Chain A
């Protein structure tokens, strides 16, 4: 699994789960909050992405993550473990 693929999946789920983002390009350097996500939306995006990528990262390890890029790195580390 490549990081590009992971970012693609996360971005797709952000667009699907949040309002008014149909024509947006998701910038991985930003946080989901920048796209209007509340904490419930973020749980939804993370859960959908993990299911799609077939990985399971403990939520407790995601607490300090701020950007989409950092989330992708974390997912990548778990997919390679």
Chain B
């Protein structure tokens, strides 16, 4: 392994045949402690020393220095996690209810602010009812696991998030993956499960590529095969559609989507997840969705803050308008620099570097040293030939910060690629 150590990745150590069950595989230890691998891993778990705003401070693992940075990695798309009204609402809630809900929602954990938040989210998403989860990941796992059973079929876009796949595995249903946004492939998979209970699972905005699910075509095909639709709008809620309801609203197909999922940790600026659907299905999920009925209800501070975050984001369109203005400027400027942005249509902008993991890490270090926090995304999270940076554009970005970002990217990436 030592002669091609950088060709290995986390994908290669999942199986463990170490006779000592309390130890990782022997070759994993050899790999992870190799100085070159250690250097790649040094980009992970770097400490932010201030709020995850665009302008923040990092304790850099590269050289151990504290550094002011432009942060384009956090998902704080609308800046709501530090919005003064949201913070005040969270403070008010923590003062009234304390730190914890102190129980699962079914028994004692449901507070009046949970019911208020769930009903406001359901109304916003134009569905009957809503289930709140303490974790976004848990929400996807819990909804899929709660609805699907052995003998059923789940047909997922191959780029769906791990939480959706894990939910599918846990459900015992058979999972079929269709080629990303490829309608012929979707149809082929649906042919294979004709006559079965089938749920088609897609994402509004795909998190590594920033492109959108082709909802009009997906809806048409699913209607033909009588398959239900589940859309994960983690990266699109509060940003897409005339009213910010997401990609389903953007394509005017909301009434055709049976289940809509969202996360509270991205545009909402909090943490947790939600699932909206018809009243009967939500009632059923409460009995069978383990991450809901066996997990403590969301914290009062977060729930109180989220009620305000929803209000701030939807009382007018100013935050998402600003986010789109920034996104359009950044996208145009990066394209003018001849960078490969894949097929992005959203505020998630990949900058695709290619197959060289070494270049990816070199650029990441170079940008961070110059004051730009843009995290590398390596295989196996993305294909080995398309390693990348993933930029999250926020409404908080100022023109000066965008100009500086582009200068750094030009100096570190574009000039190196030309040389």
- A residues near B, CB below 8 A? 19, 36, 38-40, 43, 47, 51, 56, 58-61, 63-64
Contact = CB atoms under 8 A, between A and B. Distances in A.
Contacts of A60: 7-9, 11, 379-380, 384
B96 to A, nearest CB: 45
Given A56-B1, A60-B384, A63-B384, A40 B17 contact: no
Contact of B4 (A38, A39, A58): A58
25 contacts: A19-B174, A38-B176, A38-B177, A39-B158, A39-B177, A40-B165, A43-B11, A47-B15, A51-B15, A51-B17, A58-B4, A58-B7, A58-B8, A58-B9, A58-B12, A59-B9, A59-B12, A59-B380, A60-B7, A60-B9, A60-B11, A60-B380, A61-B7, A63-B384, A64-B385
Contacts of B380: 59-60
Q: Ordered nearest first, which 3 A-B pairs have the shortest CB separation?
A: A59-B11, A58-B7, A60-B384
Contacts of B192: 36
A31 to B, nearest CB: 13
B225 to A, nearest CB: 18
Given A40-B175, A60-B8, A64-B385, 15 more contacts: A19-B174, A39-B158, A47-B14, A51-B17, A58-B7, A58-B9, A59-B11, A59-B379, A60-B7, A60-B9, A60-B11, A60-B380, A60-B384, A61-B384, A63-B383
B153 to A, nearest CB: 11
Looking at A40, A43, A56, A58, the one whose CB has the most chain B CB atoms below 10 A away is: A58
A51 to B, nearest CB: 7
Interface string B1-25: 1001001110110110100000000
Contacts of B314: none
Contacts of B279: none
Contacts of A59: 9, 11-12, 379-380, 384
B393 to A, nearest CB: 29
B187 interface: no
A47 B15 CA distance: 7
B175 A38 contact: yes
Looking at A43, A58, A60, the one whose CB has the most chain B CB atoms below 10 A away is: A60
Contact of A40 (B4, B27, B169): B169
A61 to B, nearest CB: 6
Contact of A56 (B27, B158, B174): B27
A19 to B, nearest CB: 8
A48 B192 CA distance: 26
Contacts of B4: 58
Contacts of A56: 1, 12, 27
A56 B7 CA distance: 11
Contacts of B27: 56
Interface in B1-56: 1, 4, 7-9, 11-12, 14-15, 17, 27
A57 to B, nearest CB: 8
Contacts of A63: 383-385
A59 B380 CA distance: 8
A73 B12 CA distance: 19
A77 to B, nearest CB: 12
Contacts of B165: 40
Nearest to A39: B177
A51 B12 CA distance: 12
Nearest to B168: A40
Contacts of A40: 165, 169, 175
A19 B172 CA distance: 14
Nearest to A36: B192
A56 B3 CA distance: 13
Interface string B140-175: 000000000000000000100000010001000011
A63 B387 CA distance: 13
Contacts of A39: 158, 177
A15 to B, nearest CB: 17
Nearest to B156: A38
Contacts of B15: 47, 51
Looking at A38, A51, A56, the one whose CB has the most chain B CB atoms below 10 A away is: A38
Nearest to B177: A38
